[in-house]
C-alpha cells in the first residue's frame, strides 16, 4: 500500500550492505598490512649477531693454527668438512627440524642433497652458515666452528642462495664488494660464468648502476652474477641452493 516507504527501505538496506562490504574489505586489508608490520617488528627485535668467544679445543692444534695471523689467511686450505651430531632448531625453544646429522665431505669433492620440498635441504645450508640455532660439531680442515669468530667462519663459504640478491650499486660493486680485484680479474670471472656479454651490453659496463634489485637483469643472469661473486670470494667451500632454479633459455 506504501510503495514509497518500501523503496526507501530497500535503498537503505542496499546502502547498509555496501557499508558492510566496505568494512569487511577494509578489515582484510588492514590485517594483511599488519602482518608486514609484525614482520618488521620481529626483525627490529632480533638480537644482533656477535662473534663467539674463542674456546680452547683441548688438542692445541686447531686453536694454534687459527690464532696464528699468518695462517688465518690460508684457512681453509683444503676445504674438508666434518659434521657430527648436528641438530637444528629454528628457535632455541623450538622443536628440532633436523636431528643427529653426521657426514664428511673431502676437499674438492661434490655432494648433492636430494629431498622433497620442506625436507630441510635449505635448513641444513643455513645451519652450516650458523644462521640457525644448532647443537653438534662442525669442523673445516680440523678447525671447529666454536674456535673461530662468526665472521671468519662464514668467509670459508661461497654461497649461491635459492633466492639471489642484487645490491643497489654497480656491476663492479656487486662482483667485488670489497674492491680487491682488478678489472681484468673481474672480466675473467664474468666470462667464465657466461656473464661478460651481458655486462658489455650496458653503458659504462662494469660501472653501470643496478637499482631495484637489478630489475634490468633476468633471474638467470642474477644467479650468474651471484655465482661470479662467490668465485671471486676464493672460498674453499661453495654452497649452491637449487642453482638451476632460475636458469632460463637466455642464460643457458
What's the whole-number mean pLDDT along residues 127-134?
86
Q: Is the peptide bond before 213 cis (omega within 30 degrees of 0)?
A: no
Q: Could you report the per-residue pLDDT of 151-194, keeping only the tens digit for each?
A: 888 888 888 888 888 888 889 998 888 888 888 899 999 998 88
Confidence at 248, pLDDT banded by 50, 70, 90: low
Cα-based angle 164, 169, 175 (whole degrees, multiple of 5):
60
How far apart (Å, rounded) are the C-alpha atoms in residues 95 and 89? 6
Domains and CATH numbers, the chain: 61-155 (3.40.50.300), 169-240 (3.40.50.300)
| pLDDT reported for residue 47 | 74
- Measured in whole angstroms, the distance separating CA 186 from the mean position of its chain's CA atoms is 23
Question: Does the pTM exceed 0.75?
Answer: no
Q: Could you report the per-residue pLDDT of 79-122, keeping only the tens digit for each?
A: 889 999 999 888 777 788 888 889 998 888 888 888 888 888 88
| pLDDT reported for residue 51 | 52
Distances in whole angstroms, Cα of residue 227 to Cα of each of 16, 42, 166: 58, 30, 12
| pLDDT reported for residue 73 | 62
Confidence at 246, pLDDT banded by 50, 70, 90: low
Q: Is the dihedral of CA 53, 57, 60, 61 positive or negative?
A: negative
Amino acid at each position: 500500500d506504501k510503495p514509497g516507504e518500501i523503496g526507501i527501505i530497500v535503498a537503505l538496506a542496499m546502502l547498509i550492505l555496501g557499508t558492510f562490504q566496505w568494512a569487511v574489505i577494509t578489515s582484510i586489508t588492514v590485517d594483511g598490512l599488519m602482518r608486514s608490520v609484525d614482520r618488521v617488528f620481529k626483525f627490529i627485535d632480533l638480537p644482533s649477531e656477535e662473534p663467539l668467544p674463542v674456546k680452547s679445543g683441548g688438542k692445541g692444534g686447531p686453536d694454534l693454527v687459527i690464532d696464528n695471523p699468518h695462517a688465518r689467511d690460508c684457512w681453509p686450505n683444503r676445504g674438508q668438512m666434518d659434521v657430527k651430531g648436528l641438530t637444528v632448531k629454528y628457535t632455541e625453544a623450538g622443536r628440532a627440524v633436523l636431528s643427529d646429522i653426521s657426514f664428511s665431505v673431502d676437499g674438492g669433492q661434490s655432494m648433492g642433497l636430494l629431498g622433497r620440498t620442506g625436507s630441510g635441504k635449505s635448513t641444513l645450508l643455513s645451519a652450516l652458515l650458523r644462521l640457525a640455532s644448532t647443537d653438534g660439531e662442525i669442523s673445516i680442515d680440523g678447525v671447529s666452528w666454536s674456535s673461530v669468530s662468526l665472521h671468519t667462519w662464514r668467509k670459508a663459504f661461497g654461497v649461491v642462495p635459492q633466492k639471489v640478491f642484487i645490491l643497489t650499486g654497480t656491476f663492479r660493486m656487486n662482483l667485488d664488494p670489497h674492491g680487491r680485484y682488478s678489472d681484468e680479474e673481474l672480466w675473467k670471472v664474468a666470462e667464465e660464468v657466461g656473464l661478460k656479454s651481458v655486462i658489455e651490453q650496458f653503458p659504462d659496463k662494469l660501472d653501470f648502476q643496478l637499482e631495484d634489485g637489478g630489475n634490468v637483469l633476468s633471474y638467470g643472469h642474477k644467479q650468474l652474477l651471484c655465482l661470479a661473486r662467490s668465485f671471486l670470494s676464493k672460498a674453499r667451500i661453495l654452497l649452491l641452493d637449487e642453482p638451476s632454479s632460475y636458469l632460463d633459455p637466455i642464460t643457458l
